[in-house]
């Protein structure tokens, strides 16, 4: 069986470092916040070239806390791509705001910047570009539109840690960057974990308050916050893994290039815009015969997965906004045709060749 991702292979590749990090944390007695968390926050801020990083319990919490810190709430609107993981839209709804969807570029699956201006209304308060699958969104036009209209930018960088836009790390270009360290991410924890990054000291302080019940001083709540703190154990594990991120991402890029060279033109393979550096959190292909091809791969012992079978505007929670099928055709077609093939740094060339051979056999 060739899995979509093999987390145990990565663990065994740096087992000594991970085991030492876990044991050190257990012996320290610091399990909530503390020195391990502070060290990891500082390391991520340095990696991204940011002034502040705040460790949280998940990438979803990162979006919620970013929205709250920017005072996005009832009757506000937030622009985002119509093709993304539901959390991008769900977190906006959770603070009482409305998601305004914009169709995507059919080649990169990033928000179509040419359609953002026409979506803006007097109630629009922010834009959430999503660096989906590890390819950066086209940030300069988005930043220009935000400046023109006084909008805030929250980067959903859950899948793009290490990606670059014109030489700058994604997550570092907006007002707040949101990260996820879900186990399957390019930098993955051994459980849920997330982070927000910013250069604004006031936003950083607000987000630290929001992660711990609205406290500046312990037990003295100044607003209603959350219990959303990254565990010290996860921070220690992630700190041990961080030095390997760039080499792992480079390996993903090499494997992705090899896939694309050997699979085309039998499948629509990913592209990389000249202004972006893709880190291939997922290697996404598309086929009009997706279900049949996935079933064939499964018979061959090869895993695949659909990301995502339903665009958020067609989900049950978004029905109240009046969105309907046909509103965002590129997003909807992608949801019917795209799927991920196995890709992770430890994938062997012989395993990859099996996947490639199976695709060729199906296509005939």
Q: Write phi, then psi, for 22 (nearest 5 degrees).
A: -65, -50
Confidence band for 119, pLDDT divided at 50, 70 and 90: very high
- What is the reported pLDDT for 124? 98
What is the three-class DSSP state of 320? Answer: helix
Confidence band (pLDDT; 50, 70, 90) for 96? very high
Q: How confident is the model at residue 227 (pLDDT cuts 50, 70, 90)?
A: very high
Determine the pLDDT at residue 249. Answer: 98
Using pLDDT thresholds of 50, 70 and 90, give the confidence band for residue 159. Answer: very high
Distance CA 267, CA 249 (A): 23
Inform me whether the pLDDT recorded for 266 exceeds 80: no
Structure tokens at 162: 């290490």
Report which DSSP code applies to 191: S
SS3 349: helix
Burial class (CB in 10 A: 0-12, 13-18, 19+), 56: buried
What's the pLDDT at 364?
A: 75
- CATH 3.90.1150.10 is the classification of domain 244-363: yes
Stretch 123-147: mean pLDDT:
98
pLDDT, residue 265, reads 79
Mean pLDDT, residues 88-92: 98
Per-residue confidence band for 100, with pLDDT thresholds at 50, 70 and 90 = very high
- Mean pLDDT within 119-140: 98
Cβ burial 60-89 (10 Å sphere, 16+ → b, else e)? bbbbbbbbbbbebeeebbbbbbbbbbbbbb
Q: What is the CA radius of gyration of the chain?
A: 20
> Is 53 in contact with 75 (CB distance < 8 Å)?
no
Mean pLDDT of 241-246: 98
Residue with tokens 């801020």: 45
Q: What is the mean pLDDT of residues 133-143?
A: 98
The pair of three-digit structure tokens given for residue 94, joined into one six-digit string: 């959770």
Residues in the chain: 364
DSSP three-state, residue 227: strand
d(CA 211, CA 65): 7
Per-residue pLDDT tens over the stretch 309-343: 999 999 999 999 999 999 999 999 999 999 999 99
- Looking up tokens 């290039």 gives 257
What digits encode the pLDDT tens for the residues 29-73?
Answer: 999 999 999 999 999 999 999 999 999 999 999 999 999 999 999
User: Which of the listed CATH numbers 3.40.50.300, 3.30.420.40, 3.40.640.10, 3.40.50.2300 matches domain 7-243?
Assistant: 3.40.640.10
Buried b (16+ CB within 10 A) or exposed e, 230-257: bbbbbbbbbbbbbebbeebbebbbebbe
The owner of tokens 């012996």 is 27
Q: Please tell me the least confidently modeled range out of 16-20, 205-209, 263-267.
A: 263-267
Domain ranges (residues) in the chain? 7-243, 244-363
Residue 56 contacts residue 62 (beta carbons within 8 Å): yes
pLDDT averaged over every residue in the chain = 97
Residues 282-291, mean pLDDT to the nearest whole number: 97
Distance between CA atoms of 11 and 179, rounded to whole angstroms?
21
Within 247-302, strands assigned E span: 276-277, 283-286
Q: Are 105 and 153 in contact (CB under 8 A)?
A: no
């Amino acid at each position: 069986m060739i899995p979509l991702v093999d987390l145990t292979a990565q663990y065994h590749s740096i087992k000594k470092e991970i085991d030492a990090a876990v044991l050190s944390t257990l012996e320290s007695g610091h399990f909530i916040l503390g020195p391990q968390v502070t060290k990891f926050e500082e390391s991520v801020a340095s990696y991204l070239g940011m002034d502040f990083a705040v460790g949280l319990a998940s990438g979803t919490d990162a979006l919620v806390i970013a929205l709250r810190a920017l005072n996005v709430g009832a009757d506000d609107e937030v622009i985002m791509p119509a093709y993304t993981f539901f959390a991008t839209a769900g977190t906006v709804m959770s603070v009482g705001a409305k998601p305004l969807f914009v169709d995507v570029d059919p080649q990169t699956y990033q928000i179509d910047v040419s359609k953002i201006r026409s979506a803006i209304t007097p109630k629009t308060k922010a834009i959430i570009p999503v660096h989906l699958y590890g390819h950066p969104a086209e940030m300069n036009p988005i930043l220009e539109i935000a400046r023109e209209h006084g909008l805030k930018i929250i980067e959903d960088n859950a899948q793009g840690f290490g990606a670059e836009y014109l030489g700058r790390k994604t997550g570092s270009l907006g007002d707040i960057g949101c990260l996820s360290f879900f186990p399957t991410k390019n930098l993955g924890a051994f459980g849920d974990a997330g982070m927000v990054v910013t250069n604004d000291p006031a936003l950083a302080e607000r987000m630290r308050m929001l992660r711990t019940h609205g406290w500046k001083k312990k037990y003295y709540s100044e607003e209603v916050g959350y219990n959303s703190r990254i565990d010290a154990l996860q921070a220690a594990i992630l700190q041990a893994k961080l030095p390997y991120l760039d080499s792992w991402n480079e390996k993903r890029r090499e494997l992705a290039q090899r896939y694309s060279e050997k699979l085309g033109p039998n499948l629509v393979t990913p592209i990389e815009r000249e202004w972006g550096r893709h880190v291939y959190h997922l290697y996404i292909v598309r086929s009009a015969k997706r279900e049949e091809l996935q079933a064939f791969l499964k018979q061959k012992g090869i895993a695949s997965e659909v990301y995502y079978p339903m665009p958020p505007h067609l989900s049950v929670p978004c029905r109240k906004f009046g969105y309907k099928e046909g509103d965002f055709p590129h997003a909807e077609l992608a949801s019917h045709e795209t799927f991920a093939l196995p890709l992770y740094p430890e994938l062997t060339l012989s395993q990859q060749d099996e996947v490639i051979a199976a695709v060729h056999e199906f296509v005939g």
